[in-house]
Structures are given as structure tokens and as C-alpha cells.
Structure 1
Amino acid sequence: MNKRMFRSWDTTVLVVDDVEANRCAMGAVLSRAGHRVVPLASASATLVELDARLRAGALPDAAVLDVGLPDMDGFELCRRLKAHPGIAPMPVVHFSAAAVTPHDRSRGLDAGAEAYLTVPVEPEEIQAVVRAVLRGAKLRHESAARAGRLSRLAEATATLYEASCPQELADAAAAAAMLLTSGPVTGFVFGTDALLHAGGAARPDQAAETPALAVLLRRAMAGRSGVRSVLAPAPLWPPQLFGPEGARLVLARCHADQPPVCLAVPARLPYGQETETLLSRLAQSLAVAAESLRTHAEERHIALTLQRSFLPQRAPRLPGADIALRYVPASSRAEIGGDFYTALSTPAGLLVGVGDVVGHSLDAATVMVELRHALRAYATDQHEPAALVRLLDRMLQLYHPEATATLCLALIDPATGAARIANAGHLPPLLLPGSGGASYIETRGPLLGLGLRHPPSTRLQLGPSDGLLMVTDGLIERRGTDLEVSLEHLRRAAAEAPSATEALCDTLLERFGDDPEDDVALLALRLGADRSAAVPM
């Protein structure tokens, strides 16, 4: 449909009638009302004309059709026009001097026509009917356009929350705003480091202009929250962005103590009230997304700091075994989880384990710390892995009833190689024989925190140079890949990796740990490599 405002002096109307005198009379009435008239004599000529005008982007604003055309009646012609998605918005008025019964008028309206005129008719009525159908078409066009803009706003708002960093958010905001304005937009978002990130087609030079713009944006929102629209004229606004006229800034923030976000558009471009309203709503959504991103980054930093502070970064020296430990946080796009490892020297042997609190963020890291401390405390008197698992299960039920965790514990006597293993919902440990190869140890049990019965420890005899590998699922789990397939990939990789524990961990992280979606914890142990004094963790 044409985007003109349907003013009578700026509209084109087709008049289709096989009788020349009738075409001239109807055309004269409409011309006097200020419409441009295109006279046509047949349905086939009408279809050809409309096809050409549609391809040229100049569709008429209305069509007035005689019902009794020689090659196709006006009803069928109207049905064909309304069946074409590009032509259907054009209003149609039927007229006839012969088909004048209520049934005829009903056929016309059922075919899709907006009105039906019975000839003879007064010129004023013809002009009024055409004005009415043009007015209705204009309202439908404006409603469809408004619905489209609101739909684009909703889609744009959704894309904001997919951004994983301030730069992505600024780019997404600029792209979304350009859908609303059909013009250049620059989006500005402050990062947690107080640096200003610019997104969009026109970006300021980071070294020369961004610091000054950061000061301008903060001052424009000084003491305010919500949304504010201001004009930033030259020389306050760099001429490289939008030209010498300056910019219109739509700023927003949720709280006065937070840095603002901004959508900048050229000051010279005339935006209507509706577009300004949509930009304001988008800026509000941008402010919420930016605050959510900052909160996530801050919480992730706290959780990662907490997690690292309670997980020693170097392996302990335990008697009769060589141990390597690794912890790799999830990628910056993911939340920190509750992965942990432990290695203790007890009177009954070496107690080693790897666990994972289900969930992410600061809560998971906090529960992880409590689990690890509880394990160390219980291990002063109790060394049997299955008994320790039952104690930790009760601890979670009592103090964190909403939390669950997985854990694999192994108690190993380096002198004899006797091992006992308890598994609470965790990935099975890998046995790494000194002669080479790798196989999973069959040991199972329910998650911690569910209050279910845990089976006795699995007993195993290790050789002098045999090893164990324990990992959390973040190392191998990937979307779209079956866990059994991933476990087999890990088994093969461990069998082919160097036998030394440090080299083994490095090899596995290089193979599987690139940009992990979840935290990764590894513990590799091999007997007989070091019998020096222990340093408990």
C-alpha cells in the first residue's frame, strides 16, 4: 500500500469500465475531487496495469470497478486482486447500473470490495464513498505499520538480553534502534570497568572521543533516573557522528547511582512522536539489560573469587602418589558453578575427590565451600568414602534442602594399592593402568541432598603405577552430544595422553577445555611417583 497520507490531491484511482462514456463520467467526478484518474477498459488491462505499478512501487490508492466487464466480471476481478498479498490492501469500490439487487451488493462485498455503488448516483456520494474507503485504508495501513514497529521493538528487546558483554549489548541496541528509525544509530553502554562501549554503524574513535562522550552522557543524566531525551549540538557532539548538526540522545538508567545507556540518532532527521516513544521504550529495555549484565558480571566475579580462594592452585605433596589438580572457570558468557576437588592425607590413606554443586552463580559457589569444609571436618574421624557421602547427604538436607550435588570420593592406601570408591551421581572415575589404556570404574549412587540410600563403597586393587582420573562434567558435556559419546571420547583421550599427571591434565584441557560452557575440575592421581611427606589440603 502506498505510504502517502491519502490526501485527495495526492491519490491515484483506477476507473475500470468497458463503456467509454461511463469511464469519462466517473473519471470527471473523481478528478474534480482532486484524484488522479487512470481509466481502463477491461479486467485484463487492469491486471497488467497493477502488475506493472506494483513492480514500480506505485500501486494506486483505490480502484473503482464496473461489475459488468466483458472479459471477467467485477466480482471475480476483485477476488483476484484481494488474493494478491501486494495488491490486497488497495480498497475496491464496485459500481453497476444493472446488477443492483441486494444479492448483487452482497456478492461484491463478499468478493472483498469495501463499497458498492448503484448507478445512477450523485457525484457527491461517489466522492464521499471514495474518501471513506481511502480513509479506512489509511487507518489500516497506519495500524499495520504501528503493529510492525511494536513487533520489531519486542524482537529487538529480546535480542538485548542475549548479549554477553557490554560491546555486544551496544551493537544489539544500535541494530534494534535502526529497525525503528530506518536511519543511523549509535548505542552506548558502560562496562563494569567504567569504559564506554559504542555500537552501530558510526562509532567514535576510542582514544580521541569516547572519554569526552562518557563525561557528556553522565552529565546529561546527572541526578536522574528513568528516560531522558536531550539535544547534543556541535561542538559537544563529534561531527564525525551524524554530521555537524549534532545528535538527539535518548538516555536511560534504572537507578541514579548506575551509569546511563544511550541511543544517539542524528539531530537533523525528523522523527515523529511515535518513533521517539519507541526509542524511549527501547532505551528503558537497554538500561535493564545493562544493569542485568553488570549484576551478572559482578556476581560472577564474586563467585569466581570465592571459588578460587578455597581451591588451592597447586597440588599437595601426598605420600606415595603424584597428584595434579586443575580448575577452569566457565567462559565469560556462562555463570560460575560449584565445581571443586579435594585431596587429603588421612590415617587410612589418601582421600581424593571431585564434586559439583548443581546450579550456578554465587549460591552454588557458597554451597561448594560448605561441602568442601564439611568433608575435611568429617574426614578427621571418618575415612570410609560411602560413610562420608552419607554424612554430606544429611548435611545438605539439613542446611541446604534446596541444593543437590554430585561427588566422587576415593580412599587409597599407597602402600598396598587397596582403594575404596563412592560415587554420588558423579561421572565415573577412569582407571589408568600403568601398562596403558583406560577404563571406567563401575560405581554408582544417588546425588547428595536427596536423602536416598547410598550403596557401600566399591573396592578396587590398584597396581604400583596405576592411576585415577576424576573430572566434572563441564570438561566433556556439550549441547547436542550424547553423554555416552562424550565419555568415550574422554576415555580414548586419557588412554592416549602422557602418563604423568600434570601432562595428562594439560592434554585433556587442550583437547576438551576450549571456551567451556560450564566449570571444569580435574584430579589426576598416579601411585608410586612420590613418597615424600604429605601436605594436607
Structure 2
Amino acid sequence: MDVEGKRTDTTVLVVDDVAANRFAMGALLRRAGHQVVCVGGGHEALAELDVRLRDGTLPDVALVDVGLPDMSGFELCRRLKARPHMAGLPVVHFSAAAVAPGDRRLGLEAGGEAYLTVPAEPGEIDAVLRAAVRAARLRAGDQALARRLSLLSEAIVTIQAARSLQGLADAAAEGAARLTGQPAAVFVLGPDDELYRGSSRDRTSLALPDAGAHRAVAALLRRLTRGQEGVQITSVAAPLWPAGFFRPGVQHDARLVLIPTQDGRAAVCLATPTRGVRRVNPERETLMARLAQATVLAAEPLLMYQVERHVALTLQHSFLPQPHRLPELPGIDVEVRYVPASRETEIGGDFYAALRVGDGVLVGVGDVVGHSLEAATVMVEIRHALRAYCVDESDPAVLAERLDRMLQHYHPDVTATVCLALIDPGTGRTLIADAGHIPPLIIRDSGSAEYTKASGPLLGLGVPHPPPTELFLEPTDRLLMVTDGLIETRGVDLAVSMEQLRVAAAEAPHGLDTLCDTLLGCFGHDREDDIAMLALRPV
């Protein structure tokens, strides 16, 4: 084997078993400006290509003699084209012997790009080799673009399916990393300067940048996008870009693709490291711009939802009495809990109520069907209506009927569930009206628990409600009322979840506060719905 180290625009692998022929062909090609690698047979050529594949120095074209002693040039070509990382290497066959009618066909069928008969004019040999290289590079470029477009499409589909800003940032970061072949970070800057950050999977989760770095990035993104419209691509030097966003503890210059939302109040940024990148790749930046546009389009409704969710939570916290603000309820101890759904899900219309009435104490929990700001608003109306109705009426079944008519009149498309209990603290007599809700659970000090038999139709259907269910609470009994957000799990029958709740409640500590906290600890993590809970006992 002989190799010349002269830097040229193409490298030619010459495969010929005759040393004189290798020397002559090598000299001709070097004069034409090519770098030349010469080998004497098919197996030697495969071994040389394996070494060069590992080193990242594959030649640009192979010039292969048809009549090799260890395998034909056609067989060598077939073996090259069968290897995934060498399939794009163009092969030009040549022969000094007379060309049989089928030889050119065999060369093309084996995957070769051209067939030369030598001796030939040096200019013809050079032109054929350069044409083969040019065609291979165009083909490789087209294939690379097709792969990138496919990756872009896959990334956009994943982005559009994201249900949270955090999930969106993670999906966009992974898509950016696959498009560029580098670590990537994606930032969604909300209107309140809250920063959601996602990283590609090749970025370790250890040694994440601290809060100061996130604040610095948020301030930088806000400054760069202020007053801007459309996609903006810019570079930020390492001193201005905190270390660690691409690789733990490593400082990089950053290439940023930024785009504000339509109202300009929020922005999306796709960031990749630029250290080691010698020049801008226009095609890649165009694809990154398309990815940024898809990301900001997907972010806008999620950002709007964040605002709506904040308003709904504010409504619920404003109108649901906090535990320390519950009214004095003679003869009854009450504990309440309210847990909003996780950030990835929508806000609902869950509520609880504890009111003094003429005949004792009225308690209840309910849930407006649906997850939206409207559900939270209707929840507030139901609570206010209940407070107004119970001024002169305490029968829970009558109250359920009135709430039903109120919904039909003002919100004909809305339904809700509610469970109301009227308790006489002196006697323990309890009347329960249940409108499509999980019935209350009676927990005995003996370690047993059972659901009451109360049942009835949802509010808003206009269906008559049955008389209340009557029972008597013992002084040591506890009554538990919950909304289905505590236990309802997608794919699990509600009856199974209710039985799990019954068993857990029966085994829970006796205190009302520890009962509530124990059940939230068992069931209340990362729920897809709000949770309202009320527990009481006579005193």
C-alpha cells in the first residue's frame, strides 16, 4: 500500500493487483489533483476501508479493477454496498481487457456508478471520477435532508402532543438535538418571566445550573426578544451564557433560535453549543427555525391555559373557606383539605362546605363536571346558592333539588355531583342526600368502615331526587366525604378504587387531621383532578 499525504479535494482508492498499473494510475490521478490510496486486492481493500471507517477518513471514490485475483471487482462492489456505512461510497470499475457485452451491465447491477476501459485519456478518467463523487455527494445530501425533514416532522408531532410547558420544552430539546447532532436546551419564557427548561436526553441530569443561571438566561431572553417579531437567530458568547446548560460544568458559546409569541408577552428559545462548529449551516438553521415556530405555536395555548389555571385557582382559594376560617360548628369537629390537580392537568370545580343551620350542621362536597375556568366559576355559584338556600331550608334533599333547578336555569349544559349531610350534634341523627357523588364513608373506632347507602341523580339533569337517607352517628364515629379526584385513576374501575379507600380509611389513625393526611399520602400524589375532602366527628 502507498499513501500520499498531499491535501486535495478528493481521495481515490485504487484497487489493482498489478503494481505497475497501481503506480501509473496513482501518478495520473495525483497530477489531476486527487489524493490516492492504492491496494492490491479485494480483501486488502475491505481491510483498509474498515480502518478508515473507524478513523473517519473514508475515500471519496473507489476505482476498482474488474479482474482481481481474490474476488472480482463486481463482488467487491457488492460487498461494499452491503455495508451500511460504506453503501454511499461511489465505485468506478475499470478493465484493460476487452469489454464483454455484459460487463458494463454487471458493474451497474453490482452497484457501481461507472465503467472505464483503460487505457483512457487522463481527462476522461478524471471527469468520470469527479462526476461519480459529485453524484454521490448530491445523493448523500438529499438523503441527509430527507432524514432531517423526517426528524423535524417527528419532533413537531411530539411537540404538538405535549400537555404541559415542561413536556413541550423536553420534546423540543430532544428534537433539536436529533436535528443538530448536539446537546440542546429549550426555554419557554412565560409572561411572568417564569422559565420552563427542557434538555435533550444526552444531557446528564446531574449538576444542573443553579437558580442564578436560570434568572440570567430569563433576563437575556427577555432582552433579546423585546420588540422583536418572527424568528431571530443569534450567537451568545460564553461569558454571557451560563455554564452547564449543555454539559455539566462546561462553558460554551450558544447559538440561539428565538421567537416570541404573537402577543410578544412570552418567548421560545432553542439553544445549541457552538464550540467546535466552524461555520453556520444554513440548511440546519432553517430546520431549527421551523422547529422553533412549531414550538411557539404549541406553547401559546399552554401559556393561555397557565393564565386560566391561575385565575381558577385564585377563585377556588378565595371562595373555599380555609381550615382556620371554618365557622364554629357546635358539637362537631371538622377537618377539610383541598388539593389542586397537578400542573400538567386542568383545573376542576371541586368544593367543600361546612355551614351552621337551624337544625344543626350542614356539610357537603361537590364537583362540577369538566375542567376549565367555567367549572371553577360554576363551583363558586353553587357554593353561594347553597349558602343562600340553607338560610331557610336545611333538608339536604330539598337543597339538592334547588341546586338542580338553579343549574338547569342558568347553566343548562353543566352538570355537577354533590353530597350533602345534615347532622344533629345532640342526637347524631344524620340526613344525607347524594346527587351522583361518592357516598360518605362512616369509619368506626372498631376499625371498620362502610359507605352509606345514599344515592341519587346528578345535578343539572332535572330528574327528581329521592328523600334523604337517615342514619345515626355514634360519638366515636367519623364521617368522611371526598371528591373522586382522590381515588379515580384512568383504567381502574371506580368500585376497586372505592374499596381501596375504604380499607385505607379503616386502618388510618383516629384523629381527623391524621385521617385526612394519611389518605392524601396514600392516594393524593400527581392526581389528574382536584381533590376536596371533609372529615367530621361528633364531640
Q: Are residues 69 and 246 of structure 1, via their aligned partners in 2, closer, same or farther at CA, if it must alter by over 3 Å?
A: closer
- Which residue does the alignment assign to 1:10? 9
Query: Paired residue for 2:367?
Result: 356
More displaced 10-residue stretch of structure 1: 505-514 or 279-288: 279-288
Number of the residue aligned with 1:114? 113
Where do 1:20-419 residues align within 5 Å?
23=22, 26-27=25-26, 29-96=28-95, 97=97, 100-101=100-101, 104-117=103-116, 122-153=121-152, 158=158, 190-194=189-193, 218-229=222-233, 237=240, 250-255=257-262, 257-258=264-265, 260-262=267-269, 270-285=279-294, 287-288=296-297, 291-292=300-301, 294-314=303-323, 315-346=326-357, 350-377=361-388, 379=390, 385=396, 388-389=399-400, 392-393=403-404, 395-396=406-407, 399-414=410-425, 417-419=428-430
Q: What amino acid does structure 2 have at the position aligned with 1:313?
A: Q
Residue 471 of structure 2 corresponds to: 461
SS in 2 for 1:297: helix
Would the aligned equivalents of 1:386 and 1:454 in 2 still touch at CA under 8 Å?
A: no
Q: Measure how far apart 1:339 and its partner are.
A: 0.9
1:62 CA drift (Å)? 2.2
State how far apart, in whole Å, the 1-side matches of 2:61 and 2:213 are. 55
Answer whether contact 1:247 1:266 (CA < 8 A) is retained.
Answer: yes
Are 1:512 and 2:523 counterparts? yes
C-alpha distance in 2 between matches for 1:443 and 1:43: 86
Structure 2 CA distance for partners of 1:83 and 1:393, relative to 1, 3 Å: farther
Report which stretch shifted further, 473-482 or 329-338.
Answer: 473-482
| Residues 195 and 214 in structure 2, CA contact (< 8 A), matched pair in contact too | no
Q: Following the alignment from structure 1 to structure 2, what is the Cα–Cα distance between the partners of residues 365 and 429?
A: 23
Q: Residue 535 of structure 1 corresponds to which residue in structure 2? A: none
Give, in angstroms, the shift of residue 375 of structure 1: 4.0
TM-score by length of 1: 0.77
Counterpart CA distance in 1 for 2:519 and 2:90 is: 68
CA distance in 2, matches of 1:73, 1:308: 82
Q: In terms of mean alpha carbon deviation, does 215-224 or 106-115 score higher?
A: 215-224
Cα distance in 1 for residues equivalent to 2:342 and 2:214: 31
Q: Structure 1: where are the runs of 5+ without partners?
A: 1-6, 530-537
Task: Say how many residue pairs are matched.
Answer: 517
CA gap of 1:373–1:23, structure 2 versus 1, over 3 A, is same
Range with bigger deviation, 479-488 or 357-366: 479-488
Q: 2:499 aligns with which of 454, 473, 488?
A: 488
Q: Deviations over 1:51-76 (max 9, x none)?
A: 22222222222223344444434444
Cα 1:88–1:416 change in 2 (3 A) is same
Q: Which stretch of structure 1 is more off in the superposition, 21-30 or 462-471?
A: 21-30
CA distance in 2, matches of 1:514, 1:61: 58
Moved more, 379-388 or 289-298: 379-388
After the TM superposition, which of the residue ranges 330-339 and 410-419 deviates more from structure 2? 410-419
- Distance in structure 2 (CA, Å) of the matches to 1:209 and 1:372: 42
Contact persistence 1:224–1:256 (CA under 8 A): no
Compared CA separation, residues 447 and 62, structure 1 to 2 (3 A): farther
Specify whether residues 105 and 196 from structure 1 end up closer, same or farther in structure 2 by C-alpha distance, changes over 3 A only.
Answer: same
- Give the partner amino acid of 1:100: A
Mapped partners of 1:346, 1:205: distance in 2: 54
Name the structure 2 match of 1:533.
Answer: none
Paired residues of 2:77 and 2:91 also in contact (CA < 8 A): yes
- Aligned CA distance change for structure 1 residues 53 and 416 (closer, same or farther; 3 Å): same
User: Relative to 1, partners in 2 of residues 1:207 and 1:49: Cα closer, same or farther, differing over 3 Å?
Assistant: closer
**Quick one: distance in 1 between partners of 2:433 and 2:55?**
76
Can you list the C-alpha shifts for 1:190-219, whole angstroms capped at 9, x where unaligned?
A: 4554467888899998669956x7666555
Provide closer, same or farther for how the CA distance between residues 140 and 460 of structure 1 changes in structure 2, counting only shifts above 3 A: farther
- Deviations, residues 393-419 of structure 1 (Å, cap 9, x unaligned): 565455445544333333445555454
Deviations 1:221-273 (A, max 9, x none): 443322334566899x4798999998765443124652555556659953232
**Deviation for aligned residue 1:387:** 5.7
Distance in 2 separating the partners of 1:113 and 1:395 = 81
Cα root mean square deviation, aligned:
4.5
Give the SS at the match of 2:8.
helix
SS at match of 2:231: strand
Contact 1:433 1:463 in 2 (8 A): no
Q: Are the aligned partners of 2:190 and 2:267 in contact in 1 as well (CA < 8 Å)?
A: no
Distance 1:335 1:46, change over 3 A: same
Is 1:221–1:260's contact at 8 Å kept on the other side of the alignment? yes
Please give the secondary structure, in 2, of the residue aligned with 1:372. helix
* Offset of residue 422 of structure 1: 4.2
Relative to structure 1, the CA distance from residue 398 to residue 106 in structure 2 (aligned partners, 3 Å threshold; closer, same or farther) is: farther
* Partners of 1:251 and 1:260 within 8 A in 2: yes
Question: Compared with structure 1, are the counterparts of its residues 483 and 234 closer, same or farther at alpha carbon in structure 2 (3 Å cutoff)?
Answer: closer
Q: Are the counterparts in 2 of residues 469 and 523 from structure 1 also a CA contact under 8 Å?
A: yes
- RCO greater where, 1 or 2, for CA within 8 Å and sep 6 or more? 1
Paired AA for residue 79 in structure 1: R
Unmatched runs of 5 consecutive residues or more in structure 2: 1-5
Query: 2:430, 2:473 within 8 Å by CA — same for their partners in 1?
Result: no
CA shift for structure 1 position 302: 0.9
CA distance in 1, matches of 2:117, 2:408: 83
Distance in 2, matches of 1:459 and 1:205, equals 57
Q: Tell me if the contact between 1:67 and 1:99 (Cα under 8 Å) persists in the aligned partners.
A: no
Which range moved further: 52-61 or 71-80? 71-80
Q: How far is the alpha carbon of 1:304 from its aligned partner?
A: 0.7
The C-alpha deviation readout for 1:271-311, integer Å capped at 9, x for no partner, is 23234434444444555566555433322221111012221
C-alpha distance in 1 between matches for 2:197 and 2:74: 57
Give the letter aligned to residue 101 of structure 2: T
Distance 1:233 1:8, change over 3 A: closer
Contact 1:424/1:454 (<8 A) preserved: no
Conserved 8 A contact 2:191-2:266: no
Measure the CA separation in 2 of the matches of 1:276 and 1:27: 40
Question: After alignment, is 295-304 or 153-162 more displaced?
Answer: 153-162
Q: Is the 8 A contact 1:209 1:238 kept in 2?
A: no
Which shifted more, 477-486 or 220-229?
Answer: 477-486
Q: In structure 1, what is the Cα distance between the partners aligned to 2:261 and 2:474?
A: 63
1: CA distance between counterparts of 2:238 and 2:437? 63
Q: Which amino acid aligns with 2:231?
A: V
State whether residues 444 and 506 of structure 2, in contact with CA within 8 Å, keep that contact through their aligned partners in structure 1: no
How far is the alpha carbon of 1:18 from its aligned partner? 4.2
